[in-house]
């Protein structure tokens, strides 16, 4: 019983004024990495990649709120990574200037090209990392969570699920009932020991949220 799980690099750090959690998933054997939600601090992301000797192959977004996508363009330019997100969040992505104005941020970050639309059940790969795409509409129509199965399963949950709470649904395209349905069908289906890295704040597990999150206890 010494089948140790592959030692992937998993590093999360907050970026930008709204402290969005950026997560780097890297395979040290091949030097390939996926960056989830690079926020707006490209230098911080690049130095974390360099520290682990990783090349960014894909930039994936849990959704296209401005605090999660600000460095997409710069990271794509500097690394050649492909930008991937759900097509139902493209409208939001096309309106970064409006989002910036609502938050009093100026100037808005440039919008990168979108290299690939990703959907429920798709996989995003980098080296031996095989990330499963879960479509979890509710916070935004194109909200995604990313699931890394295995002995130590991981979920990057964006603004769909937080430690002790869930994402707000009062912004453009938000839908509370849809969000609850997404969490019930896609996230609560995961193992209790799945480690959860949310889009903001501290990490948690599926089991802890199933038992203690006030929005989920009666599902
Ligand atoms: Zn959001
Ligand atoms: Zn956010």
- What is the per-residue pLDDT for 178? 98
Rg from Cα positions in the chain: 16
Q: How confident is the model at residue 179 (pLDDT cuts 50, 70, 90)?
A: very high
- The helices-and-strands tally (H runs, E runs) of the chain is 7, 14
CA atoms within 13 A on the CB side of 60: 33
Ligand 1 centroid from CA 2, angstroms: 40
Q: Which ligand is nearest to the CA of 63?
A: 1
Q: Taking the model in full, what pTM does it have? A: 0.96
Q: Which ligand is nearest to the CA of 18?
A: 2
Which segments of 68-208 are extended strands (E)? 82-85, 116-117, 123-126, 129-135, 144-148, 154-158, 161-162, 165-166, 195-198, 204-205
Ligand 1 centroid from CA 139, angstroms: 7
Q: What is the pLDDT of residues 183-209, one digit of tens each?
A: 999 999 999 999 999 999 999 999 999
Q: What is the pLDDT of residues 8-39, one digit of tens each?
A: 999 999 999 899 999 999 999 999 999 999 99
Q: Which ligand is nearest to the CA of 174?
A: 1
Q: Look at residue 2 and tell me whether its pLDDT is greater than 60.
A: no
Q: Look at residue 169 and tell me whether its pLDDT is greater than 80.
A: yes
Q: What is the pLDDT of residues 62-112, one digit of tens each?
A: 999 999 999 999 999 999 999 999 999 999 999 999 999 988 887 888 999
Q: Which is nearest to 79 in space by CA: 117, 123, 47?
A: 47
Q: Is 11 helix (H, G, I), strand (E, B) or coil?
A: strand
Q: Look at residue 1 and tell me whether its pLDDT is greater than 60.
A: no
Show Cβ contacts of residue 219 under 8 Å, excluding neighbours closer than 6 positions: 180, 183, 184, 188
Q: Is 7 helix (H, G, I), strand (E, B) or coil?
A: coil
Per-chain residues with Cβ under 5 A from ion ligand 2: 67, 159, 199
Q: Look at residue 5 and tell me whether its pLDDT is greater than 70.
A: no
Ligand 1 centroid from CA 28, angstroms: 30
Q: What is the pLDDT of residues 108-163, one digit of tens each?
A: 889 999 999 999 999 999 999 999 999 999 999 999 999 999 999 999 999 999 99
Task: In whole angstroms, give the CA distance from residue 71 to residue 120.
Answer: 24
Q: Is 5 helix (H, G, I), strand (E, B) or coil?
A: coil
Q: Are 45 and 71 in contact (CB under 8 A)?
A: yes
Average pLDDT, the chain: 95
Query: Where do runs of H (alpha helix) occur along the chain?
Result: 42-51, 66-69, 72-79, 90-93, 96-103, 176-182, 206-212
Q: Is 10 helix (H, G, I), strand (E, B) or coil?
A: strand
Ligand 2 centroid from CA 61, angstroms: 11
Task: In whole angstroms, give the CA distance from residue 12 to residue 19.
Answer: 11
- What is the per-residue pLDDT for 6? 56
- What is the per-residue pLDDT for 167? 98
- What is the per-residue pLDDT for 107? 81
Q: Are 126 and 142 in contact (CB under 8 A)?
A: no
């Amino acid at each position: 019983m010494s089948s140790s799980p592959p030692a992937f690099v998993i590093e999360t750090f907050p970026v930008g004024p709204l402290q969005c959690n950026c997560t780097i998933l890297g395979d040290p054997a091949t030097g390939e990495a996926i960056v989830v939600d690079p926020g707006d601090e490209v230098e911080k992301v690049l130095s974390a990649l360099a520290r682990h000797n990783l090349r960014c192959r894909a930039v994936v977004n849990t959704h296209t709120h401005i605090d999660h996508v600000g460095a997409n363009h710069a990271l794509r330019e500097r690394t050649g990574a492909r930008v991937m997100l759900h097509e139902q969040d493209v409208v939001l992505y096309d309106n970064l200037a409006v989002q910036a104005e609502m938050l009093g941020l100026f100037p808005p970050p440039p919008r990168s090209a979108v290299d690939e639309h990703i959907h429920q059940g798709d996989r995003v790969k980098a080296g031996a990392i095989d990330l499963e795409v879960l479509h979890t509409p509710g916070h935004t129509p194109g909200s995604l969570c990313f699931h890394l199965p295995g002995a130590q399963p991981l979920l990057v949950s964006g603004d769909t699920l937080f430690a002790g709470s869930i994402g707000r649904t009062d912004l453009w395209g938000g839908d509370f009932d849809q969000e609850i349905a997404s969490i019930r069908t896609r996230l609560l289906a995961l193992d209790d020991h799945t480690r959860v890295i949310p889009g903001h704040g501290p990490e948690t597990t599926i089991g802890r949220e199933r038992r203690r999150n006030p929005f989920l206890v009666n599902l």
